[in-house]
């Protein structure tokens, strides 16, 4: 597979963009790092079209010309697109206008969230190289094996797309997959809300009252500081220290230095003063009712239905050859039974396949039974008890 040109000049990138502008569909992938930064660092963009493939080096050339391709009418074929869309939005200011996520599509034809390598092997009988999957993509020059690996990610993606489209059309599920891909495409990304940062700290979710106000303020300060320095939040301060400060708020620099998990590298320069100011402001704030109230509990009589229906959904997913997570999660079932306004099972194709049958079950109009072959079936209720 060797010999792929790495695009590192504006002239060659413009030529690739011009070529892509005439294509109705193209394959797209990215390589990036985010282990040591707050924002993901784009290291390579791979694009392929019928008869061509290019590897674009964002460290050598401005990526803005690619924006025209992303905003065009062509379909971008991407595997497990969510993180790729995030880095593309940062680099180009936009995401593709139309998206076909092969991982999502595969879930509608009986494959459960396959990796790209698994999908290539199952759909095309092709094995792709994986030797450089975890290599340093920001190092230059790229090795031949890195280039081969990067190229392989998009080299056959359009063939996979074609096969999946045929299978989806045969099952009458192409519209389902397209709708799911559109939800991924429109998902909110970009800068995270600092005021929501505390939710990513497991121990913080149980705090209430003054402790909750402090943990929210300290986590927000840490998030903003991390974004400013472009480092992961844990580099600014470990989670342990955030929770400890919330439970026993320090009021002086001396008390702050005694907090478990903090040392001098976390309190350099103005950080100590800023952190104490955030704590003080939170302590002075009037007590507020937490807005993140958990969803209201299910009615007691409906709680047994969740496990029962979940078992049926698993059986239904196997019968329909659909990834169970795409069909209905346990949270989806609970949302439907609670009557949530945004319940995923209350509209669209899921309402027809899962939502309405579940409603009939809990209303006493249908019943679940074994069919004698170890499978659960949902059927009309006889209203003839045998015991």
Any idea what DSSP says for residue 387?
-
How many angstroms separate the CA atoms of 99 and 79, rounded?
Answer: 10
Which CATH number fits the domain 300-380, given the four candidates 1.10.10.10, 2.60.120.10, 1.10.150.80, 3.20.19.10? 1.10.150.80
Q: For residue 52, give the H/E element and its range.
A: strand 52-56
* Average pLDDT for 257-276: 93
pLDDT in tens, 361-384: 999 999 999 988 888 889 998 888
The CATH code for residues 6-186 is: 3.30.420.10
Q: Which of helix, strand or coil describes residue 329?
A: coil
Domains 194-284 and 300-380 share a fold: yes
Q: pLDDT value at position 1?
A: 44
Higher confidence at residue 150 or residue 288? 150
pLDDT higher than 70, residue 343: yes
User: Can you give the pLDDT at residue 36?
Assistant: 93
Q: What is residue 289's predicted lDDT score, i.e. its pLDDT?
A: 58
Tell me the C-alpha distance between 132 and 149, whole Å.
7
**Secondary element (H or E) of residue 99:** strand 98-101
Written as six digits, the tokens of 284 are: 């002075």
Question: For position 133, what pLDDT does the model report?
Answer: 64
Place of tokens 């031949």: 144
What are the boundaries of each domain within the chain? Answer: 6-186, 194-284, 300-380
Length of the chain: 387
The lowest-confidence range among 80-89, 100-109, 189-198 is 189-198
Q: Report the distance separating Cα 367 and Cα 90, nearest Å.
A: 51
Helices (H), 208-329: 209-229, 233-236, 239-247, 253-256, 271-284, 303-320, 324-327
For the stretch 38-54, pLDDT in tens is: 999 999 999 999 999 99
146-157 average pLDDT score: 95
Task: Write b or e for each residue in 226-237: b if 16 or more Cβ atoms lie within 10 A of its Cβ, otherwise e.
Answer: bbeeeeebebbb
Report residue 207's pLDDT band, with 50, 70 and 90 as the boundaries. Answer: very high
Domain 194-284, CATH class in plain words: mainly alpha
Q: What is the mean pLDDT of residues 188-194?
A: 83
Per-residue pLDDT, 387: 67
């Amino acid at each position: 597979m060797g010999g792929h040109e790495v695009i590192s000049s504006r002239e060659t990138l413009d030529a690739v963009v011009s070529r892509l502008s005439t294509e109705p569909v193209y394959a797209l992938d990215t390589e990036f790092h985010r282990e040591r930064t707050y924002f993901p660092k784009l290291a390579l963009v791979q694009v392929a079209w019928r008869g061509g493939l290019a590897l674009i080096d964002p460290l050598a050339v401005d990526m803005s010309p690619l924006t025209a391709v992303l905003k065009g009418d062509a379909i971008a074929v991407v595997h497990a697109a969510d993180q790729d869309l995030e880095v593309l939005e940062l680099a180009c200011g936009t995401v593709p206008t139309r998206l076909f996520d092969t991982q999502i599509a595969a879930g509608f034809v009986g494959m459960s969230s396959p990796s790209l390598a698994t999908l290539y092997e199952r759909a095309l009988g092709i094995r792709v190289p994986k030797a450089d999957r975890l290599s340093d993509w920001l190092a230059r020059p790229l090795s031949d094996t890195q280039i081969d690996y990067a190229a392989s990610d998009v080299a056959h993606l359009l063939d996979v797309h074609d096969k999946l489209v045929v299978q989806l059309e045969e099952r009458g599920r192409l519209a389902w997959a397209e709708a799911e891909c559109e939800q991924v495409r429109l998902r909110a990304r970009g800068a995270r809300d600092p005021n929501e940062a505390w939710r990513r700290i497991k121990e913080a979710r149980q705090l209430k009252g003054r402790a909750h106000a402090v943990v929210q303020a300290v986590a927000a300060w840490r998030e903003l500081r991390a974004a400013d320095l472009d480092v992961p939040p844990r580099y600014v301060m470990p989670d342990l220290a955030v929770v400890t400060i919330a439970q026993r708020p320090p009021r002086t620099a001396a008390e702050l230095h005694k907090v478990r998990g903090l040392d001098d590298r976390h309190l350099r320069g103005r950080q100590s003063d800023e952190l104490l100011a955030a704590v003080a402001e939170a302590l002075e704030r009037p007590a507020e009712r937490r807005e993140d109230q958990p969803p209201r509990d299910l009615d007691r009589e409906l709680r047994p239905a969740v496990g029962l229906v979940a078992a049926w959904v698993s059986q239904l997913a196997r019968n329909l050859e659909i990834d169970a997570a795409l069909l209905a999660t346990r949270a989806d079932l609970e949302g439907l039974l609670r009557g949530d306004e945004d319940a995923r099972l209350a509209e669209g194709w899921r309402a027809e396949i899962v939502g309405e049958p579940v409603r009939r079950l809990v209303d006493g109009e249908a019943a679940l039974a074994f069919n004698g072959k170890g499978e659960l079936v949902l059927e009309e209720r006889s209203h003839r008890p045998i015991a």
